[in-house]
Amino acid sequence: MSTEMKRRIFLKRSFAAGAVGVAAATGLLAPQQVLAAWNKAAFEAKELSGALDALMGSSAMAESADITVKAPDIAENGAVVPVTIDAGMDGVESIAVVASNNPVPLVAHFIMGPGATGFVSTRIKMGKTGDVIGVVKAGGKLYSAKKEVKVTIGGCGG
């Protein structure tokens, strides 16, 4: 084998090793870093755009018909409003639940692990009538859908 050949094999191998290293650094380690920290800035933001900037790195989102936000038309008790968000798309990374007129609009952020489908259901508090917005991050982009919920008795304070 000539030195030239050896050099080529060496290069190939080092490239392969390099690729694995990059995959470990970006693909495998990143989710754990996300898990570690509760996003204080996002959960203290008073504006939706500020919360999304802090949470997802962007607040530019497109409305999507693939996302269903299920919530009651009229919530008699704002302290308990059942909300279901079903994103009919592949590769959902995370889902944020936002109550637009709450003092702290960002209510919850669900980070979906491998295998998890774009479905979450929970119960939220709503201070007054407003939109419930489901923001879905899929394939690095943000999609949203919303539904207005009329609140007759507020659930924040009172």
Partner 1 sequence: MAKSIKIRAKESGGITTVKALMSHPMETGARKDSKTGKLIPAHFIQEVTCQHKGNTVMTAQWSGGISKNPYISFKFSGGAKGDELELTWKDNKDKSDSMTSTIK
Q: Is 18 in the site for partner 1 (CB under 8 A)?
A: no
Choose the stretch contacting partner 1; rule: CB under 8 A; options: 4-12, 13-21, 29-37, 133-141.
29-37
Per-residue mark of binding to partner 1, 34-73 (x: CB under 8 A): xx--xx---x------------------------------
Contact status, residue 121 vs residue 63, Cβ threshold 8 Å = no
Provide the token pair at 70: 């299920």
Nearer to partner 1, 79 or 150 (CB): 79
Q: Residue count at the site for partner 1 (CB under 8 A)?
A: 38
Choose the stretch contacting partner 1; rule: CB under 8 A; options: 19-27, 60-68, 76-84, 146-154.
76-84
Nearer to partner 1, 57 or 82 (CB): 82
Tell me how far CA of residue 58 lies from CA of 9, 17, 25, 70, 111, in angstroms: 43, 33, 22, 25, 16
Neighbouring residues of 45: CB distance < 8 A, sequence distance ≥ 6: 51, 53, 54, 104, 105, 106
Residue 106 phi, psi (nearest 5): -75, 115
Strands 141-151, 74-75: parallel, antiparallel or unpaired by DSSP?
parallel
Instruction: Enumerate residues 98-157 that contact partner 1 by CB under 8 A.
Output: 99, 102-104, 106-117, 119-125, 155-157
SS3 88: coil
The binding site for partner 1 (CB under 8 A) comprises 31, 34-35, 38-39, 43, 79-82, 84, 99, 102-104, 106-117, 119-125, 155-158
